[in-house]
Amino acid sequence: MPTNTKPTEKELRSMSREELLSLALTHLSSEPEVSKKADDVEVLLSNVKRSNGEPPRKKPRHFDMSRYGQRHIALRLMYTGWRFHGFAAQADSDNTVEAHLFSALLKVRLISSRTGCDYSRAGRTDVGVSASNQVIGLRVRSNVKPPSTGHRELDYVKVLNGVLPQGIRCTAWTPVCDGASPYPALYDGDPDPIKDYWNSVINGSVKEYGNIRRPGQKFSARFDAAYRSYKYFFVCGALDIKAMRKGARYFEGTHDFRNFCRIDENITNFERHMYTVQIRRLKDDSVQDDDGDDEYTMYYIFVKGQAFLWHQVRCMAAVLFDVGMLCEDPEVIKQLLEDAEVKNGVFSKGRPQYKMAPPTPLLLYECEYPKTVLYFPQSFEREFSPPITDSKDPRRSSFERANLSIAKDFAEQSAKMSILQTILKDQDKLISYSASIDALASRKSFMQLRKPRDFISDLNPGRHIPYEKRPTDDPIEIKQMKAGLKKKNMSSI
């Protein structure tokens, strides 16, 4: 098309964005009387439908956070860990729970940046680990705190769930102490359950030892937590549950857990207090032995403690599985703990090398706080709209949609589990064609030939080497010295 020919509207609409930009810049440079700026060109292009059929882009509107009040709140989160690369943000991955969470917070303008929102978290979970009650604290935009003039507080649950990806959901929110007073600030526009509960705390109706917060002390999701609990799920298989329960009891109390964690050179105190460590049956949460259990019965290791070391629960589970497979005596747990405390014995010079239990079966189950510091009366999204019974109604709350999504995932995985269980049971009816004369003579089935570790994912079968004969990791003192030398060498470069 000649440059001196004025294109028609039809020709303009058929051009790509790049062709339109080139044409506009050509006219700007060849016609001195035209004095439009580059911004004017972008405005012109934004009004033309793009070649891929998408609607024209709108120029982002500036959001002035200073026009709104801000308040300190806590959010309760759930996430399915196998979808993400861990909870904490990482420089080399955008697929972490925190990365998605802050992307959502910024998108809906609840915060202006991560660095300026007083963010805290109850804990961090590894790649593959899930959580049903993770807690974070942060300062967010408010619709009711001055200078905001709204009549009702933002529905934080609904707002966030509308932009969070599949596998992450906010389940509740509540105001927390911002340091100005010992208790959270309340406003007329807050949901009634929140106002009713925190007013009862302020009036002294809810009492708990050690619960008075000092002025100037802001809420911390990490340091204010009274305890955290985890569940590690597994299939019974041929594991000796009685032996595992005996070994689990040795973990309870205050111990040095350096032989049950991945050593962090920055940690000097490895003492942690475990309130409860139990082997429970999933269907009824029972801790009682039941001779009626079969190899497909689901169990979980329940661990409740004040705080945890790096990979501590997975290390505890790994040793318990060796005990359950009768490869180690339950007393080995007692010896691993005592040798670390008294700095004497077979396991005093370093942790014996063993493989951690895999992360996927692990669930951060609960983060508990004093009830005068943090409490979630309920999820409030349902409070802000009339109940909707039609599951296909687009107005159905995002929290209900999240539950439906989890239910669908559960149904799909349960169906797969039933198929695999049916196949295994069918195979058990056959007689093993093992070349072993003894196996043929005894006519052992596949079920009888399976080993305890066959049902434990990511644990490779092989000859077991007793812990006391295994090589050990370097003790913490050696690791700290090596880390110091490495840091010194790096600083001298």
Tell me the three state secondary structure of residue 231. Answer: strand
Distance of CA 44 to the CA centre of its chain: 45
Q: Note whether 467 and 331 are within 8 A (CB).
A: no
Amino acid of residue 313: V
Tokens of 171: 């389940």
Give the N- to C-terminal CA distance of the chain in Å, as an integer. Answer: 61
Measure Cα distances from 185 to 98, 153, 195, 212, 369 in Å.
27, 13, 10, 15, 18
Nearest to 342 by CA among 277, 276, 258, 275: 258
- The token pair that represents 474 in the structure block: 């370097």
**Residues listed for the chain:** 493
Mean pLDDT of the chain: 81
Q: Which residues are catalytic?
A: 126
Taking the C-alpha atoms of residue 68 and residue 144, their distance in angstroms, rounded to an integer, is 9
Reading the chain (493 residues) residue by residue, the pLDDT tens digits are 555 567 777 777 777 777 777 777 666 555 544 444 445 545 555 555 555 566 666 666 778 888 899 999 999 999 999 999 999 999 889 999 999 999 999 999 999 999 889 999 999 999 999 999 999 999 999 999 999 888 899 999 989 998 999 899 998 999 999 988 888 999 999 988 899 899 998 888 887 655 555 556 899 999 999 999 999 999 988 889 999 999 999 999 999 999 999 887 778 899 999 999 999 999 999 888 776 678 889 999 999 999 999 999 999 999 999 999 899 999 999 999 998 888 887 888 888 999 999 999 999 999 999 988 999 876 544 444 444 455 544 444 555 666 777 888 888 888 998 998 888 888 777 655 554 545 545 555 556 556 666 677 666 556 788 999 998 887 777 777 766 676 666 666 6
- Cβ atoms within 10 A of the Cβ of 223, count? 10
pTM above 0.95, yes or no: no
Q: How many CB atoms lie within 10 A of CB 280?
A: 17
- List the domain boundaries for the chain: 1-59
> To the nearest 10°, the Cα dihedral for 288, 290, 293, 298?
0
Which residues partner with 230 through β-bridges?
Answer: 303, 364
Contact of 156 with 140, CB cutoff 8 Å: yes
> 312-324 vs 241-249: helix axis angle to the nearest 10?
140
Query: Strand, helix or coil at 121?
Result: strand
Q: To 10 degrees, the CA torsion angle through 427, 430, 432, 437?
A: 160
pLDDT per position as a tens digit, 293-348:
788 899 999 999 999 999 999 999 999 999 998 999 999 999 999 988 888 878 88
| Distance, CA of 463 to CA of 160 (rounded, Å) | 50
Distance of CA 235 to the CA centre of its chain: 23
